[in-house]
Chain A
Amino acid sequence: MGDKKIHEDQKYIDGLLKNNSFIIQTIYDKFVPKVVNYIKQNSGDIAQAQDIVQETIITIYNQAKEKGLKLTCPFDAYFFLLCKRKWLNELKKNNKKEVTINEEVLSKDDDAQELAFETSLFGEKQALFNEMFLKLGTACKDLIKATFKIKSMEEVAASLGLTYAYARKKKSLCIGQLTKLVQESPKFNQLNY
């Protein structure tokens, strides 16, 4: 994103990060109705719209938390594009009916397109990482969890009844195993390019 100017709507991102109910409410009041209309016009119902919106906001939250997301375009366009992309993927997954793309609500804002693309990529990667993490054995899962929760590797080792050196080595190997699982999944290669 380099030296692009940060949009004033960054306040929505910051509000999400602070778990500010007022901001979340505002997002629902101002930006969600348009998304609901779009999904309803494209073979979806309200319950599905509710899920898409919720998942999209969680992805934005995660990206902001992990990667320090900076908004360089209006939140409205960015958010709409993200929800739309998510909904289209959902339809594709279930092989549903053709989608009519309503050109009027499509954004011509390049920054928004770019940023929405980045965020949905981030979201899909997260989903993949989560899926692969579940494939690890219990011992690895527990060790990784403890490592990032407790921070001090000495304490982690003690809590799991392992020696420090072993816990340390094992942690690298567990994340290594996860790296392999991720790299071997066909989805990962699609996402990377």
Chain B
Amino acid sequence: MEEQDYILFDQYLLEELSADERLVFEKRLDTDIEFKKSFNTYKELSNFLENKFENEEESNDFKSNLERVSNKHFSKTETPVDSKHKRGIFRIGQLAIAASVILFLGVFIFNQFSNPTYLDYNSHEPMTVVRGNVKDLIEATKAFNNEEYEIANKLIKKVLDKDPENSELKLYYAITNIELDNYKVADENLNELINGTSAYKDKALWYSALSRLKQRNIDACIILLKQVEQESEDYKQAQELLDKLE
């Protein structure tokens, strides 16, 4: 094809040709097989590129969510036989999941009949999956899982400054801020997540409610809890907390 043909393809696809030019173009599609083949490929590529770049962020969010579910599934069902597959993810603290579940259940049963407070719900899922500056992240992960929130907060901020679109880190950053009573920063970050498209949307909503609970803003807490969707992991917890508050 000549350069001019590709320019025509584009104009045709963007409906920029006059009625006459369109007719000529369509006639050529009918008669010139090579022209038609190239046009079809050009069109297919345009669609491909549009989807690839226009939805890049959304699709990256999807991929990291998928990776998270996949890793969870495969680490639960069986131990991987060969480790030559590097996954680029580290799982410090995975051991702590079991411990924190038990701890959570204990705390939960103990508090079932008293007024709920933030402390009933602040057994966070251990920090696990993260991308970015490895050294700082390992330290941040350790500190977070040891409940040293001040240290974790500083380290996460450092990494986040360089990787501001990292939704997962943003969530953990918000959690450390709730722990440290920096509510304004926490709520701002959580709002960004809630209004975004990442996989951490639902979690952010739940933590937003917990932040209000800790601030003793029960009305806001209730409003947020009611927005936690049925499909969300935190739905059950949210309903339980709602029952206690209302």
Binary B-proximity of A150-162 (CB < 8 A = 1, otherwise 0): 0100000000000
User: Do B69 and A25 have beta carbons less than 8 Å apart?
Assistant: yes
Distance between Cα atoms of A115 and B10 in the complex (Å): 30
By a CB distance below 8 angstroms, the chain A residues around B122 are: none
Distance between Cα atoms of A144 and B6 in the complex (Å): 14
Distance between Cα atoms of A163 and B63 in the complex (Å): 36
Binds A, one of B72-80, B89-97, B153-161, B177-185: B72-80
By a CB distance below 8 angstroms, the chain B residues around A100 are: none
- A166 CB–B CB distance under 8 Å: no
Q: How far is the CB of B88 from chain A (nearest CB, A)?
A: 13
Binary B-proximity of A127-146 (CB < 8 A = 1, otherwise 0): 00110010000000000110
By a CB distance below 8 angstroms, the chain A residues around B74 are: 46, 50
User: Do B66 and A183 have beta carbons less than 8 Å apart?
Assistant: no
Binary A-proximity of B45-61 (CB < 8 A = 1, otherwise 0): 11111111111101101
User: Do A176 and B6 have beta carbons less than 8 Å apart?
Assistant: yes
User: Do B53 and A129 have beta carbons less than 8 Å apart?
Assistant: no
By a CB distance below 8 angstroms, the chain A residues around B77 are: 33, 36
User: Do B231 and A22 have beta carbons less than 8 Å apart?
Assistant: yes
Count of A residues near B, CB < 8 Å? 50
Binds B, one of A53-61, A75-83, A85-93, A104-112: A53-61
By a CB distance below 8 angstroms, the chain A residues around B197 are: 19
- A41 CB–B CB distance under 8 Å: no
User: Do A149 and B66 have beta carbons less than 8 Å apart?
Assistant: no
Distance between Cα atoms of A66 and B66 in the complex (Å): 19
User: Do A61 and B10 have beta carbons less than 8 Å apart?
Assistant: no
Q: Which chain B residue has the least Cβ–Cβ distance from A133?
A: B49
Q: How far is the CB of B45 from chain A (nearest CB, A)?
A: 6
Binary A-proximity of B91-115 (CB < 8 A = 1, otherwise 0): 0000000000000000000000000
Query: Given A19-B65, A21-B199, are A176 and B1 neighbors across the interface (CB < 8 Å)?
Result: yes
User: Do B66 and A24 have beta carbons less than 8 Å apart?
Assistant: yes
By a CB distance below 8 angstroms, the chain B residues around A13 are: none
User: Do B45 and A46 have beta carbons less than 8 Å apart?
Assistant: no
Binds A, one of B25-33, B35-43, B125-133, B212-220: B35-43
- B202 CB–A CB distance under 8 Å: yes
Query: Given A21-B231, A46-B78, A176-B3, are A65 and B51 neighbors across the interface (CB < 8 Å)?
Result: yes
Query: Given A19-B199, A21-B65, are A149 and B48 neighbors across the interface (CB < 8 Å)?
Result: no
- A175 CB–B CB distance under 8 Å: yes
- A73 CB–B CB distance under 8 Å: no
- B148 CB–A CB distance under 8 Å: no
Which residues from 166 to 203 on chain B have a C-beta closer than 8 Å to any C-beta of chain A? 197, 199, 202
A sample of 18 inter-chain contacts (CB < 8 A) reads: A19-B197, A33-B77, A45-B82, A46-B80, A47-B83, A47-B84, A65-B59, A126-B48, A144-B49, A148-B52, A172-B7, A172-B10, A173-B3, A175-B42, A176-B6, A178-B45, A179-B41, A183-B41
Chain A residues engaging chain B, CB cutoff 8 angstroms:
16, 19-25, 28-29, 32-33, 36, 45-48, 50-51, 53-54, 57-58, 61-62, 65-66, 125-126, 129-130, 133, 144-145, 147-149, 151, 168-169, 171-173, 175-176, 178-180, 182-183
Chain B residues engaging chain A, CB cutoff 8 angstroms:
1, 3, 5-7, 9-10, 37-38, 41-42, 44-56, 58-59, 61-63, 65-67, 69-70, 73-74, 77-78, 80-85, 197, 199, 202, 231-233
Known contacts A65-B55, A65-B59; 17 further A-B pairs (Cβ under 8 A):
A19-B62, A19-B199, A21-B202, A24-B65, A28-B73, A47-B84, A47-B85, A51-B85, A53-B70, A54-B67, A57-B66, A58-B62, A145-B53, A173-B3, A179-B1, A179-B42, A179-B45
